Chains A and B, each alone.
Chain A
C-alpha cells in the first residue's frame, strides 16, 4: 500500500514538470499545440509543411525530442520528414518507405505513408510505418532509411487479401495500427483496411491472422473466414495490459483478451440509435477497462458523420460491458462531424484528457476522460491525425 502511494506521488511529481503537446496532422500541413501545466491554454506552433498532406505526426516517447512526419503533396511523391529538436528544424529521410522494385516494372509504389509507430524501448532507433497501398516498413536508424517487409508486402496470399486500390478506404487501402508488444519486440500486430488483423511472433518473418469473432458486412454472402472481407479501422493495445486489445472495426467495436484469438463484439451494448460504427479507438494509459470511441452514422449509405448531427464520444469503464455518452460542451445539434481513425487520442496525465480533430478542422479537448469538452482550435484544414505527447 505504501509502495503504491509512493508510486502515485512520484507520478504526480513527474507530471507536474511535464507539458502536453498535441500533434495535429492535416491535409494541408501540421501544427503543434503546446499546453501549459494545467492544459488550460495552448500555444500554437505552425503551420509546418504548409500545403503538404501530413498523414501522421509522432513524437518519439523514447527520447522526447525526435518527431517523424509522414508527408506528401498533391504533385510529389511521398516522404518522411524528421526533426531531432522537437520540430524546430526538419530533414527529409534519406530513403523513405518504398516497395521493392519489380523486375517487370509493374510493381507497386507507395502513394503515402499513413501510419508511424515508434519501436519499443529496447530498440531505441526502430520505427515502423504502414502505407497506402498497403505495406509494412521498418527503420533501424531513427527513420532515416526504411526497408520493406517482403514477407508481407510481396506475399501472394497477403496481396490477394489486400485487394487493389479500388478496394477499401476511399483514398487508398491502408496498413495501420502497427503495434509492438512492449514485453517482446518480436511480437507485432497490424491492421489492414481491408485485409483484417494479423500478428507475428517472430519479428515479421511469419504472420497469423486474427479475425475470429469479427463480423463482415451483411447481405452480400461474404465469408467471415476470409481476411479480404475484414476492415479494421483502428486497433489499440492497452499500455497497462498488453494482453488486451480493443478494435473499432467497419462492423462494430471489439475487445480481444489474449491468449484467446476470438474478438468479442462489445459494441452491442451501445445505444441502438447510435450504433457501434466509427473510426478511432482510444484506450486509457493505465486502466485496461477504460476505452473510448467516437461513433459515426453507419446506416443507409453510410454517411459517416455524427449520428443525428449530435457529436459525442462514448466511454466504457468496464471493458465494454456498458457505455456512457460524453457530450458535455459539444454542439447539441446540426454538427455533422467526421473524426478519422488517427484523429482521437488520450494524454498520459493523472486526470486523463481526450483530444479529437474533425475533418472540418476543429480540435477539441475532453477533460476528465471526456466529461467536459472545449474547443482548442477552429479553422484548421481537414484533420487526419491527433497525437498527445509529453515534453
Chain B
C-alpha cells in the first residue's frame, strides 16, 4: 500500500511516500517500523494508542483503531496536527 508520510517523519523515510504491507493498520505500521526503525514509536505510544498530534486517514476517513482491516487498494495518509508556536 502507498502511505503518505508527513514532513515530520521524512527524516526516517527520506521521502513523502512509502510502501508498506499489512492486513490491519497495526500491521502496516509495524511493517513501516521494520523498514524505518523507530518510526512507529513516534506515532504510537507504548500502550498502543495513536499519539495526540498524529492523524491517520484511510481512504480519506480518520481512523483511531489499529485493528482496522486494510485492503491492498486502500490509501493511507499519515498527517501531523499541531497548532501554536
Chain A interface residues (CB < 8 Å from chain B) = 73-77, 79, 92-94, 96, 98-102, 105-110
Contacts and interface: CB of A to CB of B under 8 A. Distances in A.
B77 to A, nearest CB: 14
Given A76-B9, A76-B43, 7 more contacts: A75-B81, A76-B42, A77-B41, A77-B45, A77-B51, A107-B46, A108-B47
B49 interface: yes
B63 to A, nearest CB: 17
Interface of B: 6, 8-9, 37-38, 41-49, 51, 53-54, 80-82, 84
A107 B51 CA distance: 14
Given A92-B37, A92-B38, A98-B41, A75 B47 contact: no
B38 A75 contact: no
B42 A79 contact: yes
A11 B1 CA distance: 62
B46 A110 contact: yes
Contacts of A105: 47-49
A150 to B, nearest CB: 13
B22 to A, nearest CB: 20
Nearest to A95: B41
Consensus secondary structure, chain B interface: loop
Contacts of A108: 47
A76 B82 CA distance: 10
A96 B41 contact: yes
A109 B47 contact: yes
Nearest to B12: A92
B46 A99 contact: yes
Contacts of A96: 38, 41
B54 A75 contact: yes
Contacts, number: 59
Contact of B84 (A74, A99, A101): A74
A76 B38 contact: no
A130 to B, nearest CB: 17
B79 to A, nearest CB: 9
A105 B9 CA distance: 25
21 contacts: A74-B53, A74-B82, A75-B8, A75-B51, A75-B53, A75-B81, A76-B42, A76-B53, A76-B80, A94-B37, A96-B38, A98-B41, A98-B46, A99-B46, A99-B47, A101-B48, A102-B47, A105-B48, A107-B47, A108-B47, A109-B45
B36 to A, nearest CB: 10
Contacts of B51: 75-77
Most buried by B among A92, A98, A101: A92
A98 B48 CA distance: 12
Nearest to B8: A75
Contacts of B43: 76-77
Contacts of A93: 38
Contact of B47 (A74, A76, A106): A106
B41 A73 contact: no
Contacts of B44: 77
A342 B6 CA distance: 32
10 shortest interchain CB distances as A-B pairs: A109-B45, A98-B46, A76-B42, A75-B80, A75-B53, A74-B82, A92-B38, A77-B42, A75-B8, A107-B47
A100 B47 CA distance: 8
A148 B42 CA distance: 18
Given A74-B53, A74-B82, A79 B47 contact: no
A107 B45 CA distance: 10
Nearest to B81: A75
Contacts of A76: 8-9, 42-43, 51, 53-54, 80
Contact of A101 (B8, B47, B53, B81): B47
B8 A73 contact: yes
A80 to B, nearest CB: 10
B23 to A, nearest CB: 21
B38 A94 contact: yes
B42 A109 contact: no
B57 to A, nearest CB: 15
Nearest to A93: B38
Contacts of A99: 46-47
A74 to B, nearest CB: 4
Given A73-B8, A75-B81, A75-B82, A109 B38 contact: no
